[in-house]
Amino acid sequence: MNSESLYQFSIPTVLLLLFAFYGGTYLMTLGIRKKNEDADAFMVSNHRVGFGMGAASMTATWIWAASFYAAATSGYTYGVSGPIHYGLWGALMILFIYPFGRRFRKLAPNAHTLGELIHARHGSSSQLILALSNVLGSVISLMVNFTAAGALVSVLSPLSFQAGVIIAGFGVLLYTLWSGFRASVMTDFAQLVALMAIAIVIIPAVFFAMGGPSELVAGLGNLTAEQTNLFSMDAILYQGAPFFVAVLAYAIGNQTISQRLFAVNESHIKPTFITATIGYGAIVIGLGMIGLMALTLGVEPMGGDMNNLIPQMVSTYLSPLFIALFFILVIGSLSSTADSDLSALSAILMADVYGKNLARGKADPKRMLLVGRLTMIIATAVGIVFASFSLDILVMLVFVGALWGAIVFPVIASCFWNRVTNQAFTTSVLVAMVLFCLARFELLPMSGGSDLFFEVLASIGGGVIIGLMVFGFLGRIAGFIAAALALVAMLVFATDFLRDYTVLLASLTAYGASTLVCVVMSLMSRQPDFDFATIGEQVGDYETQRPEPVTPGGQTAAANLATQR
């Protein structure tokens, strides 16, 4: 069954929908706007965002346009288990970061970025590596979201792709520019309510319009044995496993998450992140089910483009009102993520680049705000220009996730282990990136021992991922035991096997290599152990900068840190 074309809105209708969405969002931000915004609030609000606003903002930020398209693609490709292998792991990215987030917050209660914490711990080189990875992630995210806006507008109306990209870019910039993160959080709530309400209606609507459960059961005959299997190995190895590998990497490498960890009321971090985990999983897996429905009905994606699956199903089975709701659903999801990316980028440039490196502790809050707003304008322009490249979303997700994989262990270890050095952090990330590229782009032939070398590194990476996840929730001993068991299991099962799964091998190699180098270099270092108490003393608000505290030894915190380095 194929639809010849998608429903088309007229140009005035689609413009009305876009202007109503962005106009309404902009009006909402007028209620919180201040003539003289506070630089700290521009980055993390008041560090006391409540559970409801925090959970709404975290959920809305983590759901981007790619979530729906990729979940539906996964359902269409891998069948029954497909949506779960996209949505569940995406949701766990939020869950697994909160134990570490509580530690970050304890070390630096008034931080704005994770980079500030790393700057206080190690200095500029490690901080800038983290900041660079954050910037890269946010720029790619912006580009993907603007691309999604252009694609949506062009398939559902006569407007061009570029028109959709430009309207979305300017719309998001318009309401985020003045109040920054505060505007992002405020609008996230409204966007999430709309997004959830529409998802709640659209999923059952498509399901019953296509014939309901009996039609779905009848259509199972169209599926392969793997696609009907809830525990499909194909789905696990090609979709689930690369995502599982990226669970911690996405969370650590994403400033939009760190920003919320530092913004939410400290006592509400756990409920906020657990609620966001459940909310994200339910929405994304639910919309992924539309891909499964399309598969059982034998629908072919229009033009072979999987991103057309959901619009195609909605267009085929539902009335124009639902198509308009779907349109708002996608625009809302991409805008909430894009505004968070703009806020994240501005915070990185304000705090990590200007505050910690250019101003060197003497930051002018007014100038910081200017830096933040200019960053937003430039980032929007870059996102709009880059959007025209239209890259494959799923491949990009895996690639950036692996890139972030290289920094996971050094960042987490730096916050718990006082022996990690700046040199160990920096070198481990660089070595891991080189090895990742060698494996990912197959620059070395996977034979003659190099295959085994990468499999052993990847096995260490697997052990590290499991170990860190268990460590976050159950502590050090359980983490070490889990890591050792996972390492042994990986060495047994992955050897002579993982070489055929390049993406997975390369991603795990990034974790394994960075951990190995970081641990060995830290153990070999003769530097004195780091005093974690100095971090909180060095990272604070910019609007109320205090005189530099003096430690019991009579030195300032910065001098003390310099001695330790």
In the complex, which residues of this chain contact other proteins (CB under 8 A)?
32, 45-46, 48-53, 55-56, 59, 80, 182, 185-186, 189, 192-193, 196-197, 199-201, 203-204, 207, 212-214, 216-217, 275, 278-279, 281-283, 285-286, 289, 292-293
- Structure tokens of 310? 């959901």
Shortest separation between residue 97's beta carbon and other proteins, angstroms: 19
Give CA–CA dist 135/81, Å, rounded: 33
Nearer Cβ to other proteins, position 199 or 494? Answer: 199
Least distance CB 348 / other proteins (angstroms): 20
Nearest 5°: phi and psi at 476?
Answer: -65, -50
Q: Residue 4 CB, nearest distance to other proteins (Å)?
A: 27
Distance CA 547, CA 550 (A): 9
CB 154 within 8 A of CB 311: no
Between 75 and 99, name the residue whose CB sits nearer to other proteins: 75
User: Measured from the CB of residue 50, what is the shortest distance to other proteins in angstroms?
Assistant: 3
Question: Token pair of 97, please?
Answer: 């970061």
With respect to other proteins, which residue has the nearer C-beta, 24 or 204? 204
Smallest gap from Cβ 473 to other proteins, in A, equals 22
Smallest distance from other proteins to CB 279, Å: 4
Between 283 and 330, name the residue whose CB sits nearer to other proteins.
Answer: 283
DSSP 552: T
**532 neighbors 447 (Cβ within 8 angstroms):** no
Contact by Cβ (8 Å): 455, 495: yes
Pure H helices in 108-211: 114-121, 124-156, 161-176, 181-209
What is the 3 state secondary structure string of 67-101?
HHHHHHHHHHHHHHHHHHHHHHHHHHHHHHHHHHH
Cβ-based nearer residue to other proteins, 16 or 282: 282
Choose between 158 and 212: whose C-beta lies nearer to other proteins.
Answer: 212
CA geometry: angle 307, 165, 4, nearest 5 deg = 35
Nearer to other proteins, 164 or 288 (CB): 288
Spatial distance between the Cα atoms of 234 and 148, rounded to a whole number of angstroms: 27
DSSP H helices, 210-302, are 212-219, 225-228, 233-234, 241-245, 247-253, 255-263, 269-297
Question: Closer to other proteins at the Cβ: 79 or 461?
Answer: 79
Compute the least distance from the CB of residue 57 to other proteins, in Å: 9
Name which of 48 and 366 has its Cβ closer to other proteins.
Answer: 48
Nearer to other proteins by Cβ, of 153 and 195: the residue is 195
Sign of CA dihedral 329, 160, 288, 284: negative
With beta carbons less than 8 A apart as the criterion, state whether 67 and 262 touch. Answer: no
Q: Which two tokens stand for residue 99?
A: 């134990």
Closest separation in Å from C-beta 206 to other proteins: 10
8 Å CB contact between 560 and 534 = yes
The CA-CA-CA angle for residues 179, 378, 539, to 5°, reads 55
Nearest distance in Å: CB 283, other proteins: 5
550 has which bridge partners? 556
